[in-house]
Amino acid sequence: MSLSAKQKATVKDFFGKMATRSDDIGAEALSRLVAVYPQTKSYFAHWKSASPGSAPVRKHGITIMGGVYDAVGKIDDLKAGLLSLSELHAFMLRVDPVNFKLLAHCMLVCMSMVFPEEFTPQVHVAVDKFLAQLALALCEKYR
């Protein structure tokens, strides 16, 4: 399920529109992840608080969204572009890949909330595919 040229353009275009709200969306998405799927808090036991809306959660959501934006710039070769991030996730963080899908869903919900008109079904499928490709690239070094 790789991205067509048109879908890559759609992703770049939508993320461009989203840029001014990307911090909010990133922070909200991670908050919703830990709220809707409480088992994901297991990765954040070392924080003072992993509850939705807390400072460490919001800050980390922003960090993650920054990584996603970085990946948009590398959309033509995610595997190569995300090599070191993949090593980080494989050998240090060891996040179960199922969680990438859960976070992607929360990101899509937030995008839909903030951009109800722009987040059309066509944009939705392109972004969903991109996030899935991103997750695959992150898993590259897992085994």
Partner 1 sequence: MVEWTDSERAIINSIFSNLDYEEIGRKSLCRCLIVYPWTQRYFGAFGNLYNAETIMANPLIAAHGTKILHGLDRALKNMDDIKNTYAELSLLHSDKLHVDPDNFRLLADCLTVVIAAKMGTAFTVETQVAWQKFLSVVVSALGRQYH
Query: Which residues are at the interface with partner 1 (CB under 8 A)?
Result: 28, 31-32, 35-36, 52-53, 105, 108-110, 112-114, 116, 119, 121-122, 124-125, 128
DSSP codes joined into one string, 63-88: HHHHHHHHHHHTTT-HHHHTHHHHHI
Residue 15 vs 119, nearer CB to partner 1: 119
Q: How far is the CB of 46 from partner 1 (least distance, A)?
A: 22
Residue 30 vs 78, nearer CB to partner 1: 30
Residue 32 vs 89, nearer CB to partner 1: 32
Query: Counting every residue, how long is the chain?
Result: 143
Reading the block at residue 26, the tokens are: 């990133």
Q: Residue 143 and residue 140: Cα distance in Å, rounded? A: 7
